[in-house]
Amino acid sequence: MRVFEALFTLEGVLIFSTEVRPAISQGQAKGSYINPLPYIHNYPVMYGLMGKSSEAYFVIPSLHEEAYTGKKGLRYTSVSDMIRKFKKGQEGSMYVFPLIPKRIKTMSFLMSSESWTYVLPVRGRIKNVYPRLTNYTAFAPESTFFTYVITVGETTLPRWIRIGKKRWGIMRVDMKEIRDFKVQKVQNEVTSIPINIKDAEEFGYEIKSYSKLIETPNIEEGVIGWATLGQCVQIEAKGSKICLPIPEEVYKNET
């Protein structure tokens, strides 16, 4: 098992539709604007580190209709395969925890129809259809995020990844390996970083409680938050301790 501290430095424009709010103009709701939260789900980051920009699958329109009883959410096939390999401790597998902000710079994009503010002179309503989105808030270059990356054996990780809307979010990845560490199990500890709740349960950990930070539309894999675990793997190195939910097959040779 190899443990890395990973710093992600944004060098493009990163847009995530974490939160959508109504846009108000001239006292009336007109369209909506997208606002991201500064925590990034681990699945898009895993796609980036695996060199995949997206997952291809068929989408049936009726998936969004309540009348369709067989509806399913998004399927993260490549990520799910990697998580299964990681759970088994398979050579070459890896896992990334959600990203937390270290430094945030934001910028806004105004769409071409009408502003959600009242002070900007803009083009009037278009003739036939009013657009759904009028404003984006995005993360700007020089924003930085932090997480931990766990790999099994020798795994080549890229220096650059692309995530977010249109894959504009180009990020430089700087890894620092934690060496000469000790591993032990501790009871009722809070994780050192927000975790994917479903992944932790998949790895065999009991979630005592958690504080939700984000929840994506695909709720099953989408809940990210700080969590108190019944048992947790504590990694100690040079006076620092981190608590993470790591599968037993991954860390068993380190104890």
Measure the CA–CA gap between 197 and 212, rounded to whole angstroms.
9
**Is the pLDDT assigned to residue 23 strictly greater than 70?**
no
Residue 212: name the closest of 223, 202, 201, 204 by CA: 223
- Which of the pair, 149 or 156, is modelled with greater confidence? 149
pLDDT, mean over the chain = 81
Instruction: Tell the burial category of 17 from Cβ atoms under 10 Å away from its Cβ (0-12, 13-18, 19+).
Output: middle
pTM of the model: 0.80
- Domains of the chain by residue range: 2-179
Dihedral of alpha carbons 138, 142, 147, 150, sign: positive
pLDDT tens-place string over residues 217-231: 666 777 899 999 999
Measure the CA–CA gap between 214 and 73, rounded to whole angstroms.
17
Tell me the average pLDDT across 52-76.
Answer: 56
**Is the pLDDT assigned to residue 139 strictly greater than 60?**
yes
